[in-house]
Amino acid sequence: MFQNLSDRLQAIFSGLTGKGRLTEEDVDAAMREIRMALLEADVNYMVVKEFVAKVRARAVGSDVMKSLTPGQQVIKIVLDEMTDLLGGAGSQLVLSGRVPNVVMLVGLQGSGKTTATAKLANLMRKQGKRPLMVACDVYRPAAIEQLESLGRELDIPVYRGEGSDVVAIAKAGVRHAIDTMRDFVIVDTAGRLHVDEEMMAEAAAVRDAVRPDQILMVVDSMTGQDAVNVAAAFAEKVNFDGVIMSKLDGDARGGAALSIRQVTGKPIKFASFGEKPDALELFYPDRMAKRILGMGDVVSLIEKAQEVGAAEMDAETADRMKRADFTFDDFLSQIVSVRKMGGLGSILKSLPGMGKLKGAADEVDDGALDSIEAIIFSMSADERAQPKIINGSRRERIARGAGVQVYDVNQLLKQFAETRKLMKQFQGQSGKGKRRMRIPGMPGGF
């Protein structure tokens, strides 16, 4: 979503860092370009005006102008101000000590509210909660069916109630949570195609009936400034606590995410980057600012890796890894882990400096992983465990089964053998002081 803005800002920064010293005219020229880049990204005009004014006021200070690296100083200022624009220190769910905790979701029809309900329930379950989803969108039967379908997929219960009294269903849902020992309730309220008094009154009635710990508004980031205007109306009538930004994996301009906190005064608490149940993340303003400025997001990448690898490998697999004797089944599990982390392109985008390689992460073809998986799946159990037995006729059979050329099978076997050899070299160097180990193709050794 922020790719175009990120490219524009990085081009501006390249012009600044290429100069040994900066003049006030240089800063003004950069500010004009930043202003245009933000406006083209559909950021609210008043937000842009205030943002640029703050950056300029700090950038023309003596500390920057007399610095040995003025361009880097300006980039740091832009990062600080963008972090503040997105919410500063960030904001998490604030829950009371009562049981069950109740979170109420509001938003327009089509904003992704029902899907966000399931994603939030899934996220809370990972944090040790026992969630219950309450379907209160009685005006759109498909919404209830959708929530029940997501509930079955995630094995999380859904309370749908009887009749069409939304307030009664919400209250009954909370009682049902108490009766069934559920400690976290998410109320999915009804939406409309546009803001109207009836919807606002109903949302306020549900709020008063269940007294939620938090009210979250789901905002479709694809709708740009319209989303900001809708959020401002909800903030006035319902007084929600925070925002879930949905569809941040889309290709819209992203101005809503950069404007909403400044316009409504409400923080973004969660961000959704896909349709899968695990595609909801806590929103960290500093990390998002770094992503937008092309600085990567290593912390989030590490957290994803830890989450994917949270389940401990069995003792047998761990022993094989120690002896550098892992199998193609182990190799396959690593591919699964990469996919769970969003694929190779997503991983590359999280690495600092990748933004400077224009389009590099977008051009990474995860289809290569598909071919590798197909080749491994075409192997027998013995072949996966003992690749040395794969002779010429076996290679031809595997290639036919995977729909690839024998050359592709040969390449994978060669890479696999080199990886095992490299791991054995690491094991051999363990505990031998500072000896340098040569890695083929890498200058200077390792």
Q: In this predicted structure, what is the pLDDT of residue 428? A: 57
Paired strand residues for 270: 244, 282
In a domain, 437, yes or no: no
Domain boundary among 86, 116, 137: 86
Give the pLDDT confidence score for residue 317 in this predicted structure.
55
Q: Please name which of 212, 231, 216, 210 lies closest in space to residue 123, comparing C-alpha atoms.
A: 216
How many residues appear in the chain?
A: 446
pLDDT at 303: 54
Q: Are residues 207 and 321 in the same domain?
A: no
In sequence order, what are the beta bridge partners of 185?
A: 102, 132
- Asked if 112 and 168 sit in the same domain, the reply is yes
Any domain includes 446 = no
Q: Print the domain residue range for 367.
A: 304-429
Report the CATH number that the domain containing residue 215 is assigned in CATH. 3.40.50.300
We report the CATH number of the domain holding residue 359 as 1.10.260.30
Residue 154: the pLDDT is: 92
Domain count, the chain: 3
pTM score, two decimals?
0.66
Position of tokens 């909370």? Answer: 174
- Per-residue confidence (pLDDT) for residue 155, from 0 to 100: 93
DSSP string of 252-321? S--HHHHHHHHHH---EEEEE-SSSTT-EEE--HHHHHHHHTT---HHHHHHHHHHHT-SPPPHHHHHHH
- The residue assigned the tokens 């963008």 is 82
Residue-level pLDDT at 395: 92
Looking at the domain assignment, is residue 381 inside a domain? yes
Domain CATH for 25: 1.20.120.140
pLDDT of the residue at 176: 94
Q: Which amino acid is at 433?
A: G
Which of these, 436, 435, 427, 434, lies nearest to 444 by C-alpha position? 436
Pick from 239, 219, 244: nearest CA to 230 = 219
- Please tell me the predicted confidence (pLDDT) of residue 434: 44
The amino acid that residue 212 corresponds to is P
pLDDT at 301: 53
Is residue 445 in a domain? no
CA torsion, points 138, 140, 145, 150, in degrees to nearest 10? Answer: -100
Q: Based on the domain organization, do 137 and 253 belong to the same domain?
A: yes
Q: What's the pLDDT at 441?
A: 41
Residue 298: HSE in the Cβ half-sphere, 13 Å Cα cutoff: 5
Please check whether residues 269 and 158 belong to one and the same domain.
yes
Please tell me whether residues 265 and 155 are part of one structural domain.
yes
Q: Is 239 in the same domain as 190? A: yes
374 in a structural domain: yes
> Which pLDDT belongs to residue 360?
47
Does residue 120 form part of some domain? yes
Q: Is position 82 within any domain?
A: yes
Structural domain includes residue 234:
yes
pLDDT tens, N- to C-terminus, the chain (446 residues): 677 787 888 888 887 777 777 788 888 888 899 889 888 888 888 888 998 999 888 888 766 666 667 778 888 888 888 888 888 776 788 888 888 999 999 888 778 888 999 999 999 998 899 999 999 888 877 888 999 999 999 999 999 888 888 999 999 999 999 999 999 999 998 876 667 778 788 888 999 999 999 999 888 877 767 777 778 877 777 788 888 888 777 666 667 778 888 888 888 899 888 778 888 888 888 888 887 877 654 545 555 555 555 444 455 555 555 555 678 887 777 777 666 666 565 665 555 555 554 444 455 556 677 888 889 889 998 888 888 899 999 999 999 998 989 998 998 888 888 877 776 665 555 544 444 444 444 343 32
Give the residue from 342, 341, 348 showing the smallest Cα distance to 363: 348
Based on the fold, state whether residues 167 and 209 are members of the same structural domain: yes
